[in-house]
Amino acid sequence: MKKTAQPAARIVSAHGRHYVARLEDGRELQAFPRGKKSDIACGDRVLLDIQGEDQARIAEVLPRTSLLYRKDMWKQKMVAANVDLVAIVVATEPSFSPELVARILVACDAQQVDALIVLNKCDLTAALPAARAALEPFRRLGYNVLELSALQGADALRPHLAGRTAVFTGQSGMGKSTLVNALVPDARAATREVSQALDSGKHTTTYAKLYDLAGGGALIDSPGLQEFGLAQLDVNDLEQAFPDFRAHLGSCRFRDCAHDSEPGCGLRDHVAPDRLALYHLLRHEITTAAAPQY
Ligand SMILES: Nc1nc2c(ncn2[C@@H]2O[C@H](COP(=O)(O)OP(=O)(O)OP(=O)(O)O)[C@@H](O)[C@H]2O)c(=O)[nH]1
Ligand SMILES: [Zn+2]
């Protein structure tokens, strides 16, 4: 029997096991995964079995160029697939967690995806110096920090987004959806004001959604997150995801040096203590998550 062609599509929204897939002609279909597992992310490119006017089954997920993914002992979550840029959105107010930023940066480096830290709400000038100070260590590591105010416009972001797929990620309330609305006029992404009006709780964005940018490129708005586990990383690859470690790797006496209390560690004394502490914390999380659970 001749196999009917399976059209290619891109997943433009991911809400649990409910997906929306967009065909190349722009038509959008409700799509659902084949089996029980739904390891499909917003941004994925897929092949579909069309099953009716507006329904399809996801027959195959095409190979990904990147996957932003988080995993801890209890849960795992695909944030977005096939992204070229991860925009980590933080704000002057409310205050943000530098550790969360550092974790997302490790995930980006592990996937070799560009990262950009966006400091939003710079119109709130009283809180600006503290936010800048919290980001200074990241600047020193060479990460790009872009300051702006989504309420006054987000055009400063455009050169970073043109022709690429970017995901906006970060804690809740930092202004990801407000940025999306500033960049995509007809996006109407729900922001805090809307969720307050509906009294729907703290998190406004509850699922990942992809928006096309006029002139090329796409943006994925994703739900606010509080944690970013990296248990999916291979402990042997972890040190490679710290760009500040790279120049010192290979200079330890022992090849499998954990840069802890081993004699002859060539890294320990050359990197910032907070970076070493993060490395040890992640290493511990990875090894305990990988341990068999009884
Ligand atoms: N002063 C000021 N407020 C802003 C700015 N950008 C966003 N906000 C406000 O910050 C609040 C949170 O914005 P959202 O866009 O809903 O935040 P979010 O990061 O998408 O939050 P989640 O969807 O829960 O992850 C809203 O009240 C926005 O109006 C800004 O540049 N300046
Ligand atoms: Zn070492």
pLDDT in tens, 75-98: 888 999 999 999 999 999 999 999
Q: What is the mean pLDDT of the chain?
A: 91
132 and 107 in a common domain: yes
Find the DSSP H helices in 7-115: 98-111
> Other C-beta atoms within 10 Å of 84: how many?
17
Q: Is the pLDDT of residue 201 over 90?
A: no
Instruction: Report how far apart, in Å, the C-alpha atoms of 189 and of each of 17, 206, 277 are.
Output: 21, 11, 37
Instruction: Report how far apart, in Å, the C-alpha atoms of 84 and of each of 76, 132, 151, 167, 252 are.
Output: 21, 25, 25, 8, 33
Domain total of the chain: 3
16 and 158 in a common domain: no
What's this model's pTM, rounded to 2 decimal places? Answer: 0.92
- Predicted-complex ipTM score: 0.97
Average pLDDT over residues 45-67: 95
CATH number at residue 36: 2.40.50.140
280 and 143 in a common domain: no
207 and 112 in a common domain: yes
209 and 149 in a common domain: yes
120 and 213 in a common domain: yes
Domain that holds residue 277: 235-290
Per DSSP, the three-state class of 10 is strand
Q: Which ligand is the nearest neighbour of the Cα of 179? A: 1
Query: Is residue 175 a known part of a binding site?
Result: yes
At 32, which helix (H) or strand (E)? strand 28-33
Query: Exposure string (b/e) for 31-56, b if CB count within 10 Å is 16 or more?
Result: bbbeeeebebbbbbbbbbebeeeeeb
Ligand 1 pocket member 13 (CB < 6 A):
no
Q: Which ligand is the nearest neighbour of the Cα of 200? A: 1
Convert the pLDDT of each residue in 224-268 to its tens digit: 999 999 999 998 889 999 999 999 999 999 998 999 999 999 999
Cβ atoms of residues 87 and 166 within 8 Å: yes
149 and 251 in a common domain: no
Q: What is the pLDDT at residue 75?
A: 83
Question: Could you say which DSSP state residue 2 is in?
Answer: P
Query: Is residue 264 a known part of a binding site?
Result: no
215 and 84 in a common domain: yes
Query: Is residue 288 a known part of a binding site?
Result: no
Ligand 1 pocket member 172 (CB < 6 A):
yes
217 and 194 in a common domain: yes
Convert the pLDDT of each residue in 10-31 to its tens digit: 999 998 888 999 999 999 999 9
Q: What is the pLDDT at residue 200?
A: 47
CATH number at residue 93: 3.40.50.300
286 and 160 in a common domain: no
Average pLDDT over residues 159-187: 94
Ligand 1 pocket member 155 (CB < 6 A):
no
In a domain, 1, yes or no: no
Percent of the chain with pLDDT over 90: 78
Return the C-alpha torsion angle 280, 229, 116, 209, nearest 10: 180
3-state SS, one letter per residue, for 146-209:
EECEHHHECHHHHHHHCCCEEEEECCCCCCHHHHHHHHCCCCCCCCHHHHHHHCCCCCCCCCEE
Convert the pLDDT of each residue in 256-284 to its tens digit: 899 999 999 999 999 999 999 999 999 99
172: Cβ contacts below 8 Å, ≥ 6 apart: 202, 203, 204, 223, 224, 225, 226
In a domain, 228, yes or no: no
Give the position, in ligand 1's atom list, of the atom nearest the Cα of 221: 20
Average pLDDT over residues 69-75: 86
Q: What is the pLDDT at residue 188?
A: 74
84 and 49 in a common domain: no
Q: Is the pLDDT of residue 198 over 90?
A: no
Q: What is the pLDDT at residue 186?
A: 85
Ligand 1 pocket member 174 (CB < 6 A):
yes
In a domain, 159, yes or no: yes
